[in-house]
């Protein structure tokens, strides 16, 4: 309905009520039946229109109140989730946006840590090498067994002994089909500062370095 039609309808209703106000109940009864019928219909139409407009307005107000209550409830929930202390709607939404960005950064960081851990686990399990270290009275018995025979691997293990300050007393090496190394070594300082776990960690690290360099060459 256009604005002109609305204005015209309002003007007509006002004019009708103005004309009807000039008649009393007695004077209306004195009018011809057809005229009285027309007046009753007009009054009924105006009253019905006014009542319907009032109902629509009340319904609209109820809908607005319901939407406002739902929005308030959602904002309260959002404020609780994001630990926001903001009071107005814009600030709550801004805090929620920052909270989402923070969660995204956390997820990316966790994904990166998981990927690194999986890669490290893969490297450890993919090394075809067994390392055992037994503590002797004056040193260690170190055994390294690998399915891959390599002189570079032997050099890497021996270099790890030097870095630890271990003196090789006896060594047996086999590189026929597989790599087998058995070494008896002692700490040159003899102060007991190096244990079997330290020796094994150094040997494993040397083997990993050899494995990485070997993959790069491939």
Q: Where are the domains of the chain?
A: 3-68, 84-126, 128-217
Residue 146: is its pLDDT beyond 60? yes
Lowest mean pLDDT among 54-63, 83-92, 111-120, 142-151: 111-120
Does 138 score more than 90 pLDDT?
no
Q: Residue 132 — pLDDT band, cuts 50, 70, 90?
A: very high
> Residue 172 has what DSSP assignment?
E
Task: Give mean pLDDT, residues 198-215.
Answer: 80
For the whole model, what pTM was predicted?
0.41
Does residue 160 register a pLDDT over 80? yes
CA 194/CA 189 separation, integer angstroms? 10
pLDDT for residue 38 is more than 80 = no
CATH architecture of 128-217: 2-Layer Sandwich (3.30)
pLDDT digits (tens, 9 = 90+) for 47-80: 555 566 666 777 777 888 888 888 888 888 878 8
Question: Rounded mean pLDDT of the chain?
Answer: 74
Question: Band of the pLDDT at 120, cuts 50, 70, 90?
Answer: very low
CA torsion, ordered 83, 88, 93, 99, to nearest 10 deg: -20
Mention every residue, 6+ apart, whose C-beta is less than 8 A from residue 144: 129, 130, 131, 153, 157, 179, 180, 181, 182, 203, 207
41: helix, strand or coil: helix
pLDDT-based confidence at 122, cuts 50/70/90? very low
**pLDDT (0 to 100) of residue 67:** 84
| pLDDT value at residue 13 | 58
Question: 121, 140, 134, 145: which is closest to 207 by C-alpha?
Answer: 145
| DSSP H helical ranges for 82-184 | 89-126, 151-164
């Amino acid at each position: 309905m256009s604005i002109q039609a609305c204005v015209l309808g309002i003007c007509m209703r006002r004019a009708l009520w103005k004309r009807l106000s000039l008649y009393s109940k007695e004077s209306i009864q004195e009018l011809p039946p057809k005229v009285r019928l027309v007046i009753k219909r007009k009054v009924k139409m105006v009253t019905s229109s006014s009542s319907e407009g009032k109902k629509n307005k009340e319904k609209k107000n109820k809908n607005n109140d319901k939407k406002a209550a739902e929005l308030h409830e959602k904002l309260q929930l959002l404020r609780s989730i994001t630990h926001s202390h903001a009071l107005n709607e814009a600030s709550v939404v801004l805090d929620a946006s920052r909270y989402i960005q923070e969660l995204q950064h956390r997820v990316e960081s966790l994904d990166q840590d998981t990927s690194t851990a999986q890669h490290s686990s893969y490297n450890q399990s993919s090394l075809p090498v067994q390392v055992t270290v037994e503590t002797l009275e004056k040193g260690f018995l170190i055994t390294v067994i690998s399915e891959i025979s390599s002189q570079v691997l032997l050099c890497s293990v021996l270099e790890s002994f030097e870095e630890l300050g271990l003196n090789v007393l006896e060594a047996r090496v086999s590189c026929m089909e597989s790599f087998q190394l058995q070494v008896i070594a002692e700490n040159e300082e003899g102060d007991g500062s190096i244990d079997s776990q330290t020796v094994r960690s150094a040997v494993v690290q040397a083997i990993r370095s050899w494995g990485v360099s070997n993959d790069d060459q491939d």
